[in-house]
């Protein structure tokens, strides 16, 4: 199987897991709409993906972003086949040091944006009788530890929403799944490192973005009769 002729949207595509996923889906034949804030990086990625790729620069944390992406894709292609909600940020700190100004941005990007895009594209896919939504979570959704309550709590909420959406859309032709990676070396740890703290990817040999992208593509390549609802992929040295 391959993804020839499929239109795939990937958020957070300017770097890390999102960029690796866009590249991996394109290698399987999909036409990619990479979405992120950094226009220059998106343009460079789109050039590498080929002439059919249509980058869309926007901050997914903005309330109108999901609608803007939805309208852009429907206007250009008339449909969407795969939506990968990957964009996210991490702020983790002990109780005494947690910056509450980071709370709303994390809610907006890590949860609200996923709900908005999944809802809008889910409706369109349901009407078409086909499509797939893949939401990127984290093994952090299942970790109870100091300093990660907000990030892990939002990922747990994302998973609850995603599971409910999968059940609601069962039988409609629209598949919904979760990919939950463990420690992966990406820019998500830049916030920690900017405060002079080691990123989680410094404690063990981490996965690389391409490793997680492989799991996402594996989910996307399943036959229509199969919904692979969850993939949890760890770095080999992860002990959670």
**Sheet with 31-36: strands ordered across:** 56-57, 31-36, 7-11, 82-85, 131-136, 174-181, 230-233
* Predicted pLDDT at 211: 97
Q: How many domains does the chain have?
A: 1
**Would 53 be classed as within a structural domain?**
yes
**Would 136 be classed as within a structural domain?**
yes
* Predicted pLDDT at 78: 96
Distance of CA 200 to the CA centre of its chain: 19
How far apart CA 224 and CA 228 sit, in angstroms, is 10
* Predicted pLDDT at 225: 95
pTM of the model: 0.94
**Would 24 be classed as within a structural domain?**
yes
Under 8 Å CB-to-CB from 183, ≥6 apart: which residues?
A: 200, 201, 203, 204, 206, 207, 234, 235, 238
Closest by CA to 223, choosing from 148, 173, 166, is 173
* Predicted pLDDT at 238: 86
Q: Which residues of the chain have pLDDT under 70?
A: none
* Predicted pLDDT at 62: 97
Domain of residue 143, CATH code: 3.40.50.720
Name the catalytic one among 56, 151, 189, 200. 151
* Predicted pLDDT at 22: 98
* Predicted pLDDT at 147: 86
- Give the other-Cβ count within 10 Å of 198's Cβ: 10
Task: With residue 178 as reference, give the H or E element that holds it.
Answer: strand 174-181
* Predicted pLDDT at 61: 97
Q: Reply yes or no on whether 151 is catalytic.
A: yes
How far apart CA 91 and CA 194 sit, in angstroms, is 11
- Give the other-Cβ count within 10 Å of 41's Cβ: 17
**Would 209 be classed as within a structural domain?**
yes
* Predicted pLDDT at 203: 82
* Predicted pLDDT at 239: 72
DSSP code of 15?
Answer: S
Find tokens 């929403």 and name the residue. 161
**Would 25 be classed as within a structural domain?**
yes
Share of the chain above pLDDT 70, in %: 100
* Predicted pLDDT at 194: 83
**Would 191 be classed as within a structural domain?**
no
* Predicted pLDDT at 15: 95
**Would 15 be classed as within a structural domain?**
yes
- Residue 196 backbone class (left: φ over 0; alpha: ψ -120 to 50; beta: rest): left
DSSP class per residue in 111-159 = IIHHHHHHHHHHHHHHHHT-EEEEEE--GGGG---TT-HHHHHHHHHHH
> Range of 61's domain?
7-183+203-233
**Would 100 be classed as within a structural domain?**
yes
* Predicted pLDDT at 53: 96
């Amino acid at each position: 199987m391959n993804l020839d002729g499929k239109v795939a949207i990937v958020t957070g595509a300017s770097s890390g897991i999102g960029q690796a996923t866009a590249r991996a889906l394109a290698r399987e034949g999909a036409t990619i709409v990479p979405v992120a804030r950094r226009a220059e990086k998106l343009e460079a990625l789109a050039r590498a993906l080929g002439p059919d790729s249509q980058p869309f620069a926007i901050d997914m944390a903005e309330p109108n972003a999901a609608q803007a992406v939805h309208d852009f894709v429907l206007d250009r292609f008339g449909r969407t086949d795969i939506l990968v909600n990957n964009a996210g940020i991490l702020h983790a700190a002990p109780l005494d040091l947690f910056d509450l100004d980071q709370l709303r941005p994390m809610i907006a990007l890590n949860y609200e944006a996923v709900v908005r895009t999944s809802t809008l594209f889910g409706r369109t896919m349901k009407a078409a009788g086909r499509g797939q939504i893949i939401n990127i979570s984290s093994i952090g959704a299942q970790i109870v530890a100091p300093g990660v309550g907000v990030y892990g709590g939002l990922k747990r909420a994302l998973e609850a929403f995603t599971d409910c959406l999968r059940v609601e859309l069962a039988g409609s032709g629209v598949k919904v799944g979760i990919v939950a990676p463990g420690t992966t070396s990406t820019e998500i740890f830049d916030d920690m490192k900017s405060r002079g703290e080691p990123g989680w990817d410094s404690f063990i040999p981490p996965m690389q973005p391409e490793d997680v992208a492989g799991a996402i593509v594996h989910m996307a390549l399943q036959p229509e009769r199969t919904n692979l609802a969850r993939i949890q992929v760890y770095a080999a040295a992860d002990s959670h």
